[in-house]
Amino acid sequence: MMDTGIEREARLPYYEQLKQLLLAEIAHNDLKPGHLMPSEAEMCARYGVSRTVVRQAVGELVSEGILQRMRGKGTFVARPKLSEQFMESTVGFFEDMTGHGHSVTSTVLSVDRIEVPDLVRERTGNTTATHCTEIVRLRAVDHEVVAFTKSYLNNDDPALLEHLRSVDLTSASLYQILEDSFGLRIESGHRSIEATAASSMMAKLLDVRPGEPLLYIESVGQTAQGTVAEFFRAWHRADRLKIEMDVVRSKRGPARLPPTLA
């Protein structure tokens, strides 16, 4: 029998063995990001396993960020995920990515004066404002679209709207523009993140399959005086982004163990 690398008598499941073989092939052959992997049929023939085994092994490597599927093109060695640390900082997406050496560009879909959406009222606690400024953008890192964002500014000043429509937001930081031109600086706030599935519209915008996982982020930004200045919503491609943050132990003091555990 041909040696496929799969040990038929081993207790380790075939798909797990195949995962290790594929990882070894990537490492030993120094396969670079973008390298096209064999098709399902080729892997079945090469390793003597079923399509079910191949799909499970490849699926787990995709979920772990080692491989990347591209519609109609195949499965490729994935690029390292973009590391974003803005969950613990008031810097925006632009400053975070450029600070790590990436280029960031935006396609501005709209800059409009709109009635304050109910969700914005709920998240910001602002029940008096009737209108706000909305900025809708597709964000690209190193020329690849990775996020769709909506920013809501708690400001109905016509001068602000006109200025934002006139400046080049394609390769600039919104936070920096607000600070430099209007003295509006985001000093603190709250951000949350959760998993969501790509809708058909979001799938088209971010070039993923409908139903694929996205990272959905909400943020409320405040000035030094505690005034809510901005609320934003962002949908990030989960296959291209990971969130990092530092943590510290609570200052409440050491935990006291029950006598039976002390």
**Same-domain check for residues 185 and 231:** yes
Domain-terminating residue out of 61, 77, 93? 77
**Same-domain check for residues 125 and 70:** no
Judge residue 219's burial from the number of C-beta atoms within 10 Å of its C-beta, 0-12 exposed, 13-18 middle, 19 or more buried. buried
Q: Tell me how far apart the alpha carbons of residues 127 and 256 are, in angstroms, rounded to a whole number.
A: 44
What pLDDT sits at residue 250? Answer: 60
What pLDDT sits at residue 261? Answer: 42
User: Considering the domain boundaries, does residue 165 fall inside one?
Assistant: yes
Number of domains into which the chain is organized: 2
Task: Tell me the HSE value of 177 on the side-chain side, using a 13 A CA sphere.
Answer: 17
What pLDDT sits at residue 91? Answer: 54
What pLDDT sits at residue 156? Answer: 87
Tens of each residue's pLDDT in the chain, 262 residues: 445 688 988 888 999 999 999 999 998 888 888 899 999 999 999 999 999 999 999 999 988 788 988 878 899 998 776 555 444 455 566 666 666 666 778 899 999 999 999 999 988 888 888 999 999 999 888 888 889 999 999 888 899 999 999 998 888 888 889 888 888 888 888 888 899 999 999 999 999 889 988 999 998 988 888 888 899 999 999 887 777 766 666 666 555 555 544 3
Domain-terminating residue out of 30, 61, 77? 77
Q: Tell me how far apart the alpha carbons of residues 222 and 228 are, in angstroms, rounded to a whole number.
A: 4
* DSSP string across 134-179: EEEEEEEETTEEEEEEEEEES---HHHHHHHHHS--SSS-HHHHHH
Residue 194 phi/psi, 5° resolution?
Answer: -150, 165
**Same-domain check for residues 117 and 205:** yes
Q: How many other C-beta atoms can be found within 10 angstroms of the C-beta atom of residue 174?
A: 22
**Same-domain check for residues 128 and 221:** yes
Q: Is 0.95 surpassed by the pTM of this model?
A: no
Give the C-alpha distances (Å, rounded to integers) separating 38 from 3, 29, 67, 206.
Answer: 18, 14, 12, 25
Q: Tell me how far apart the alpha carbons of residues 228 and 36 are, in angstroms, rounded to a whole number.
A: 48
CATH number (domain holding residue 48) = 1.10.10.10
**Same-domain check for residues 26 and 132:** no
What pLDDT sits at residue 1? Answer: 41
What pLDDT sits at residue 262? Answer: 35
**Same-domain check for residues 125 and 30:** no
| E strands present in 161-258 | 188-197, 213-222, 228-237, 241-243
**Same-domain check for residues 51 and 97:** no
Q: Tell me how far apart the alpha carbons of residues 72 and 167 are, in angstroms, rounded to a whole number.
A: 38
**Same-domain check for residues 57 and 108:** no
CA dihedral 248, 250, 256, 262 (to 10 degrees): 0
What pLDDT sits at residue 72? Answer: 84
User: Considering the domain boundaries, does residue 185 fall inside one?
Assistant: yes
User: Considering the domain boundaries, does residue 256 fall inside one?
Assistant: no
User: Considering the domain boundaries, does residue 249 fall inside one?
Assistant: no
**Same-domain check for residues 177 and 91:** yes
Q: Tell me how far apart the alpha carbons of residues 179 and 105 are, in angstroms, rounded to a whole number.
A: 20
CATH number (domain holding residue 126) = 3.40.1410.10
Domain around 20: 14-77
Q: Tell me how far apart the alpha carbons of residues 52 and 20 are, in angstroms, rounded to a whole number.
A: 16
Q: Tell me how far apart the alpha carbons of residues 226 and 203 are, in angstroms, rounded to a whole number.
A: 36
**Same-domain check for residues 135 and 230:** yes
